[in-house]
């Protein structure tokens, strides 16, 4: 995962979880705990559920529900010899992503801009239900704010043009969502250096 290693674990009651170890840089414990508590109150069927965390001087750990099918990129970019997804499954994944983002942007008491939407951050459960994951880069936006200023973050290839001005809103996620939709439909990365020069970039 981005900004930290991810481990699979099992709780004392037998429930499988994914544990993400974050880089402990640039954020105090109080600020980290506050943001995690906000995210921990968010529950939606298309968002990976945060079940716990650990915050000490030397560790930042997030504990999430385990998603057995892994990340979307393993399925749409034909990695690990995974079979092709049928069109109904692809459509349902796109709808699930959209519902998860809509909840973050419109239905939370405090809007949340994810800021790193990409196939690696869309996880799939046993029935291929899509859930948005990895809020390590997310930005909380008050309802009275139309945009916020922040340093550029996210993944090249999925960044909205407005990042150049550093003033962004949740609409940056919509741009990234569109890029991922094209990748799902086409079954390839939006930038593929192995392709001929005229075909390296996916264009709408």
Structure tokens, 106:
């419109």
Q: Where are the beta strands (DSSP E) in 3-102?
A: 4-10, 16-22, 50-55, 60-65, 70-71
Active-site residue, from 116, 125, 144, 173: 116
Q: Cβ atoms within 10 A of the Cβ of 132, count?
A: 24
User: Running DSSP on this structure, what letter comes out for residue 91?
Assistant: H
116 in active site: yes
Given phi > 0 = left and psi -120 to 50 = alpha, else beta, which region is 6?
beta
Distance CA 126, CA 92 (A): 14
Question: Rounded CA gap, 33 and 131, in Å?
Answer: 23
136 closest CA partner among 16, 32, 7: 32
Q: Give dist(CA 41, CA 15) in Å, integer.
A: 20
* Residues labelled as active-site residues: 116
């Amino acid at each position: 995962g981005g900004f930290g290693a991810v481990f699979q674990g099992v709780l004392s009651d037998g429930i499988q979880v994914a544990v993400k170890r974050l880089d402990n840089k640039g954020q105090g414990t109080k600020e980290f705990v506050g943001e995690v508590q906000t995210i921990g109150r968010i529950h939606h069927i298309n968002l990976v559920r945060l079940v716990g965390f650990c915050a000490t001087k030397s560790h930042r750990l997030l504990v999430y529900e385990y998603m057995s099918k892994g990340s979307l990129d393993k399925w749409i970019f034909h990695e690990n010899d995974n079979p092709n997804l049928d069109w109904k499954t692809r459509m349902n994944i796109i709808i699930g992503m959209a519902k998860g983002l809509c909840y973050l942007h419109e239905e939370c008491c405090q809007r949340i801009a994810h800021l790193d939407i990409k196939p690696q951050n869309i996880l799939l459960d046993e029935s291929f239900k899509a859930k948005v994951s990895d809020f390590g880069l997310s930005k909380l936006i008050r309802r009275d704010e139309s945009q916020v200023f922040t340093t550029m973050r996210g993944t090249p290839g999925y960044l909205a043009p407005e990042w150049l001005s550093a003033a962004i809103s949740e609409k940056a996620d919509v741009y990234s969502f569109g890029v991922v939709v094209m990748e799902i439909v086409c079954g390839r990365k939006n930038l593929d250096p192995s392709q001929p020069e005229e075909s390296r970039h996916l264009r709408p």
